[in-house]
Amino acid sequence: MRIPRTALLAGALASVLLAGTAHASSSSAPAFKAALAKNPIYKTGKLGYETCDEPDVQSADLDEVRVYLEGVLDCLDAAWKPVVQRAGFTFGKPTLRLTGKAGVPTGCGKFPAGAQAVYCPANRRITFLVEPGTVEEPNDLWLMVVLAHEYGHHVQRLTGMLGAMTRYNGKNAARVLDESRRIELQAECLSGTFVGSVWHSLGRKDTDFTFIARRGGSGSVLSLLGIKGKDQAQQTHGSARNIGAWLTRGYDTESAGGCNTFKAPKSQVS
């Protein structure tokens, strides 16, 4: 979920997807529930889905972006279904909704200003904002990276991770917000897992991926929000460097097993 801190804290601290600041005194990872740190999906091996027929997209025209995202969504469904089932969970497809403005209902509140896309676990829907500037250049890989990130949240929902997150009770903010940052960085890693798995079928230059990774992966849109927005992005989703590092790790390993952020030291999820 690409949401700045102000939008989250306005009404989401008691919901499933949270974000914020958390810095434990130890440099090692704290103990988390088995559903988070020892989830069976980590032992499913490589994604194993190697070919995605990536649609062409030349502009931010809503219908054109819709065709692109729906095509990539079909690939994501086909890629993750056998993995989720292999891990012992029931698979179900998410739905996709495109919108041209913030504020529309998502099923988990209104689409927040400053976000590019959100996933609602209550209705399993990905809502994607399409506006001028969404496609910076023809066939912008960033669209795939963002959609695959939100799909990563869907995988987390299907495998019980989102349901295992600590609920905010007014006194445990540090714990809740630490888990939230790890869940976001894991979704970024799962995005990289998909992109890496299908990469050779896309016919792209390696620089298409490395450019996005160095900009902070799916979170690079928040660079448009100014200094305050970037600070909020780091508090809720981790630094641009760590986002890019987890995206790259997923890309390199092509496996959910490389995305266990709940075993990572604090320095890698800050």
**Residue at 149 is within a domain:** yes
**Residue at 136 is within a domain:** yes
**Residue at 55 is within a domain:** yes
Residue 113 confidence (pLDDT): 84
The two tokens of residue 31 are 């103990």
pLDDT tens sequence across 132-161: 989 989 999 999 999 999 999 999 999 999
**Residue at 134 is within a domain:** yes
β-bridge partners, 126: 96, 119
Global confidence as pTM: 0.88
Give the residue, 195 or 180, on which the prediction is more confident: 195
pLDDT tens sequence across 236-264: 777 889 999 999 999 999 999 999 999 99
Residue 27 confidence (pLDDT): 55
Residue 255 confidence (pLDDT): 98
Residue 62 confidence (pLDDT): 95
CA angle 74, 78, 81 (to 5 degrees): 125
**Residue at 92 is within a domain:** yes
Q: What percent of the chain has pLDDT over 70?
A: 83
pLDDT tens sequence across 64-121: 999 999 999 999 999 999 999 999 999 999 999 999 999 999 999 999 888 899 999 9
**Residue at 40 is within a domain:** no
**Residue at 187 is within a domain:** yes
**Residue at 19 is within a domain:** no
Give the residue, 209 or 220, on which the prediction is more confident: 209
The domain tally of the chain equals 1
Does pLDDT of 20 surpass 50? no
- Mean pLDDT, rounded, for 204-215: 95
Residue 175 confidence (pLDDT): 86
Alpha-carbon torsion, ordered 96, 80, 187, 37, to 10 deg = 140
Give CA 100 to chain center in angstroms: 21
- 79: containing domain: 5-12+48-259
pLDDT band at residue 17 under the 50/70/90 scheme: very low
